[in-house]
Chains A and B, each alone.
Chain A
Amino acid sequence: MTLDTSAVTPLGDGGEPSGATATPAGERDAEGSPPRSPAWRRRVSRWDTRLSPYLYVSPFFVVFALVGMFPLLYTGYVSVHEWGLLGGKGDFVGLDNYARVVEDRYFWNALRNTISIFVLSSVPQILIALVLAALLDTQLRARTLWRMSVLIPFVVAPAAVALIFGNVFGDRYGLVNEMLQGIGLEPIRWHVNTLASHVAIASMVNWRWTGYNALIFLAAMQAVPRELYESAAIDGAGKVRQFLSVTLPLIRPTLLFVVITSTIGGLQIFAEPRLFDTQGLGGSDRQYQTLTMYLWELGWRVRDLGMASAVAWLLFLIIIVFALVNLAVSRRVGALGARR
């Protein structure tokens, strides 16, 4: 890295001329003659050493307490009260809000939609990203250019992606339907049919994140020792076999990392389904209303912050459960792979 030179130079020219603020220069010159008040300066220096670290890490903890910890706990507090967006806090109602959420068919609908969109977006995305990473993990010409090219979708904001794909998957005059009709197929009602809408929304997520995840996989693949491929080849393993038996087991930690981050992100999906149509409620019969959209509707349309908070806590628990299931499944899969 470049740091040795860049780090030393400012230190060298920073120490000498600034005798006004820091005494070290003076101290070095006047070796022997006592500086002004050595005891006091030593004490300041000691406090500096002792307290500075806490001072440096404190901004994070203050901000996290304010926007992370406190809101999460306070969400629990709000969720056991009657609480209007405008009226503010009302009576303590215990678990009533949770009961109302669990009895609401739209909650279960939103949960189903979220999971369906999540599966449709994460499974193909990870598979394609793995293949793409394997393609990039070759002796390509203009390597950096290829890597940059697959990252292009990442610079398009989810809101813009949703508008573009909302048009491409238009029920009338949409590009996809025109193409389907062009080859003699029936047009699909992307904004009406539940599964079709999930496919359309998942394709937005897939489009934006596949290249990104491919680069993460590529980084992991490049850490795989090349000798392993050579010895696998000597043992008669073809490219596909090498990929399955050498690459995949060795990049498993990265795979797990990507799966878990896309779980945490995917279950909170909002912008894409929200902007898929003009109403923003997830379709005429909430065909593609996700849990975060449901939370938003309860809080800022129905204006019931108590019930919305209950949804937030339930969603938090769901995310934890999913992360743990992911962990367990990939452990199991990993163990199988190792035995093979």
Chain B
Amino acid sequence: MNRRPGFLVYGLLVAFVLGSCAPLYWSFLVGSHSRNVLTKRVPPLLPGGHFFDNAQRAFDAVPFWKALGNSLLVSTTVATSVVFFSTLAGFAFAKLAFRGRTPLLVFVVATLAVPTQLGVIPLFIVMAKLGWVGSMWALIVPGMVTAFGVFFMRQYLLDAVPDELIEAARVDGCSMIRTFCNVAVPAARPAAAILWLFTFMATWTDFFWPLIVLPASNPTVQIALQQLQSGYYVDYSLVLAGAAVSTVPLLILFVLTGRQLVAGIMQGAVKG
């Protein structure tokens, strides 16, 4: 697999990329026409001029602005918190000697296999007791740190920070936390950025748990989308305009950071 690829390879790749973009384009296409466009035999190939009307109707139908604000708040907070606590724990697991380190690390890795989604019932009971049902706390607190994040940062810091550097900092009289801030944090930056991005996206796209704990009046973007198509008659111009709008924030993030996302996946930043 060394020679320069021929037309066949490029042709297949182009076909695949077109397929990757087609549903998104379709969403924009339907969202930019008036609602009776779908009853036509041959659908139009070019966007119409009603996208902003349809998007406006979607924003009127459900609290979309509030949903965007909520999603932004929750995703940013969770991603930042995960990066902070994971770097801290990853640093300890990778570079500090302490009793019980290995069994604790094995435990962290083992919890990767636990499908936490199945714990929603007690989690809901707890959130109800705390009075957090319906508030963003119910989304933020359970996501503050993940086993994947801890393991990911540990793997990265293992090679990224030379032991001598930590020893030097300690000999110079740095406290543990200063050693962390001055030695580990700068070294962790590339991995931290990747972890932040993936956590942000996973939180932004989450659907099951927000559906359970959030009311219709205080939704995230995904829950607002769900509200758009409830009822017996579905106005697809409105629904798909909403779906297209809801994708814009992540699309912007993708354009800005696509390189890091690709690098992250290829380094083993996996579904988490």
A140 in contact with B5 (CB, 8 Å): yes
A170 to B236, CA, bound (A): 11
Which residues of A from 195 to 222 have beta carbons under 8 Å from B?
A: 207, 211-212, 215-216, 218-219
Q: Which residue among B93, B168, B173 has the maximum number of chain A CB atoms within 10 Å of its CB?
A: B173
With an 8 A cutoff between CB atoms, is A10 at the interface?
A: yes
Interface residues on A, range: 35 or more
Q: B239 interface residue, CB < 8 Å from A?
A: yes
7 cross-chain pairs, A with B, having the tightest CB-CB distances, nearest first: A71-B119, A24-B173, A52-B176, A157-B205, A74-B122, A53-B98, A3-B187
- For the complex with contacts A1-B187, A139-B2, A140-B9, 8 further pairs of A-B residues with Cβ separation under 8 Å are A54-B92, A56-B180, A67-B116, A71-B116, A139-B3, A139-B5, A147-B262, A216-B266
Is B186 part of the contact surface with A, judged by Cβ < 8 Å? Answer: yes
With a cutoff of 8 Å between Cβ atoms, the chain B residues found around residue A118 in the complex are: none
> Counting CB contacts under 8 A, is B165 at the interface?
yes
Cβ 8 A contact of A167, one of B101, B116, B117, B239:
B239
A124 at the interface (CB under 8 A from B): no
Q: State how many angstroms separate the Cβ of A258 from the closest Cβ of chain B.
A: 9
Q: Which residues of B contact A134 (CB under 8 A)?
A: 1
Q: Which of A108-116, A148-156, A328-336 contacts B (4 or more CB under 8 A)?
A: A148-156
Query: B217-238 toward A: CB 8 Å interface, digit per residue (1/0)?
Result: 0000110011011111010100
Interface residue from A10, A155, A230, A265 paired with B201 (Cβ < 8 Å): A155
Distance A138 CA – B177 CA, assembled complex (angstroms): 46
Query: Restricting to B1-50, which residues have a CB under 8 Å from any CB of A?
Result: 1-5, 9-10, 12-13, 16-17, 19-21, 23-24, 26-27, 30, 38-39, 41-43
The total of chain B residues at the interface (CB under 8 A) is: 116
Instruction: Please measure, in the bound complex, the distance between the C-alpha atom of A155 and the C-alpha atom of B200, giving whole angstroms.
Output: 11
Contacts of B23 in A (CB 8 A): 153, 156, 161, 164-165, 168, 207
For B178, what are the chain A residues with a Cβ–Cβ distance below 8 Å? 14, 22
- Name the B residues within 8 Å of A147 (CB-CB): 262
> What are 20 A-to-B residue pairs whose CB atoms are below 8 Å?
A7-B165, A50-B98, A53-B96, A54-B92, A59-B89, A60-B85, A64-B145, A66-B142, A67-B142, A135-B13, A148-B261, A159-B222, A159-B246, A168-B26, A268-B118, A274-B226, A280-B226, A292-B208, A312-B119, A313-B118
Q: List A contacts of B39 (CB < 8 A).
A: 173
The prevalent SS among residues of B at the interface is helix
Chain A: minimal CB distance from B141 (Å): 8
Q: Please, which residues of chain A bring their CB within 8 A of the CB of B246?
A: 157, 159-160
Contact, CB under 8 Å: B147 / A64: yes
List the B side residues contacting A230 at CB < 8 Å: 2
Is the beta-carbon distance between A138 and B9 smaller than 8 angstroms? yes
Residues of B within 8 A of A45 (CB): 175
Q: A56-B91, A139-B4, A159-B205 are in contact. Are A15 and B266 (CB under 8 A)?
A: no
Q: In the complex, what distance in Å separates the CA atom of A230 from the CA atom of B23?
A: 40
A167-B30, A278-B232 known; A219 and B120 CB under 8 Å? no
Using CB atoms and an 8 Å cutoff, list the residues of chain A in contact with chain B.
1-3, 6-8, 10-11, 14-15, 22-24, 27, 45, 48-50, 52-54, 56-57, 59-61, 63-64, 66-68, 70-72, 74-75, 78, 132, 134-140, 144, 146-161, 163-168, 170, 173, 175, 178, 207, 211-212, 215-216, 218-219, 226, 229-230, 239, 242, 257, 261, 264-265, 268, 270-271, 274-275, 278, 280, 292, 295-296, 299-300, 305, 308-309, 312-313, 315-316, 319, 323
* B193 at interface, CB cutoff 8 A: no
Contact B121 A299 (CB under 8 A): yes
Contact assessment for B271 and A265 in the assembled complex, using a CB-CB cutoff below 8 Å: yes
How many Å lie between the Cα of A218 and that of B145 in the bound state?
29
Output the least CB separation between B118 and chain A (Å). 4
Rounded to whole angstroms, the CA-CA distance of A139 and B9 in the bound complex is 10
Among A1, A57, A173, contact of B38 (Cβ-Cβ < 8 Å): A173
Residue B243 interfacial (CB < 8 Å): yes
CB distance from A115 to the nearest CB of B (A): 16
Check B262 against A151 for contact (C-beta < 8 Å): yes
- Contact residues of B between 93 and 127, Cβ < 8 Å to A: 93, 96-98, 101, 104, 108, 111, 113-126
